[in-house]
Amino acid sequence: MKCKNVHNKLIFFLEKELPVSEMEQVQKHLDECSKCARFAAEMRNTLQILDNDKVNDENPFFYTRVKERLSKQAEEQPAVRPVLVRILQPVAFSMLLLLGVYGGFMLGQAPNANIAGSGFTEQEVIPYWNELEAEPIEAFLME
Amino acid sequence: MSDTDIIDQLKQGSEAAFKTLVDTHQKLVVNTCYGLVQNREDAEDIAQDVFVEVYRNIDKFRADAKLSTWLYRIAVNRSLNHIRDNKKRKWFHSFEDEVANKRREAMQVSTSNTDEPEYELENQQRAIILKEAINSLPQNQKVAFTLSKYEELSYQEIAEVMDLSVSSVESLLFRAKKGLQKKLYKCFKKKCL
C-alpha cells in the first residue's frame, strides 16, 4: 500500500472502520514507513482530544437558572389586551387618519375667500431673501 | 420516572416533573450544544433556552416521538442559530479578541496529564487545530459528526434527529471524516501539528 492510500484511509483505520484485510495492510505500512507512522500518531493524539472534550460535570445551579429564565420571560410578556381594545384601537386610528386626509382635501378645494394677509407676508419676506443673496456666506459667518 | 410519565405530568403543569426532566437530560443537552458551539458558557446558556422552549411547547410534543430526539433537535437548531448570530457579531470584533477567545476555548479542554506542561501545551495547540477543522466542515457534516462523537449516537439515532435516511448520515459522516483527515494532513505537512 502506498503512502497516499494510507493517508486517505488513516482516520477510518484509527476508528477501526476498515475491513480486516485493509486494517492489516495499513498496519503493515505504518510499521514500515516512519513518516506515515508519525502522522498516524499525531492524528490519534488529536482525535483523542474529543474523548476528553466532553461536558462530564453537571452545573448544580442549572435548574435554578432555567426557572429564573422562565419567570423573567413570563414577566416580560405583555398582558393580554381585551379583544375590543385590540380591534377598536386600530379602527379608531384608521378613522382619524381618513378624517385627516378628507379634511386636507376639503381645505384644498375651499374658495379663496380671504387672502389679503398673505400678500403682505410675501412682501415682508422677500427683502430678507434678497439680502441673503447679496451677502456672501463667508462674510455672514465671519460676523 | 419514564419519559412518558414526565411528559404527561409536565402537560398537567407539574413543576417536579420539569425538574426531573432538566436534571436527567441536562448533560445530554449541554454536551450537544458544547459540541457545536465549542464554548462551555455559551453551551449552558443555549441549553437553558432549550429547556425553556420545551416547557413552553410541551403541548406540541407528539406522544409517539422520543423525548431525547426532540431535545437533540431543539439543541442543534438553537446552537446553529447561535453560531449564525455569532458570525454576524464577529465582524465587529478585533483580531485580538478572536485570539483570546480561541486560547480560552483551548484552555477548557481538560487533559489527563496535567503534570506535564509541554504535553499540555501541545494538546492545547492540537485542540485549536482540531476545533478549527471541525468548524470548517459544512453544517450538516458538523452536526452529524458532533452527534456521533460527543453523544456517541448510532447512525439510526442521528438519522432520526436530523430527519435523514441512515445512508445519508453514513455519507455525511464519511465526508466529515475525510474532510477532517485532509485538513489535519495539510497541517501536519506545514508542521503546525
Report the range of poorest mean pLDDT among A107-121, B146-160, B173-187. Answer: A107-121
Note whether B109 contacts A59, CB cutoff 8 Å: no
Q: Provide the pLDDT for residue B155.
A: 95
- In terms of CA atoms, which chain B residue is nearest residue A53? B109
Among B69, B39, B35, which Cα is nearest to B148's? B35
Grid coordinates given for A97: 387618519
* Closest CB from B51, B111, B193 relative to A66: B51
User: Do B123 and B109 touch, CB atoms closer than 8 A?
Assistant: yes
Q: Which residues of A61-86 are buried (b: 16+ CB within 10 A; e: fewer)?
A: ebbebbbebbeeeeeeeeeeeeeeee
Note whether B31 contacts A73, CB cutoff 8 Å: no
Instruction: Catalogue all structural domains in chain B, each as residue range(s) with its CATH number.
Output: 1-92 (1.10.1740.10)
Query: Confidence band (pLDDT; 50, 70, 90) for B142?
Result: very high
ipTM passes above 0.90: no
Q: Which residues of A make CB contacts under 8 Å with B? A: 7-8, 10-12, 15, 39, 42-43, 45-47, 49-50, 52-56, 58-59, 62-63, 65-66, 69-70, 73
* Cα gap B67→B7, rounded to integer Å: 8
Q: Is the pLDDT of residue B188 over 90?
A: no
* Cα gap A58→B164, rounded to integer Å: 31
Among A55, A58, A49, which Cα is nearest to B111's? A49
Task: Tell me the one-letter amino acid at A78.
Answer: P
Q: Provide the pLDDT for residue B97.
A: 62
* Cα gap B8→B1, rounded to integer Å: 11
Note whether A42 contacts B149, CB cutoff 8 Å: no
- In terms of CA atoms, which chain B residue is nearest residue A10? B181
Interface of B with A in 60-99 (CB under 8 A): none
* Closest CB from B109, B185, B188 relative to A53: B109
Grouped pLDDT means (10 residues each) for chain A, 143 residues: 86 91 92 90 89 83 92 74 77 93 86 56 58 67 74
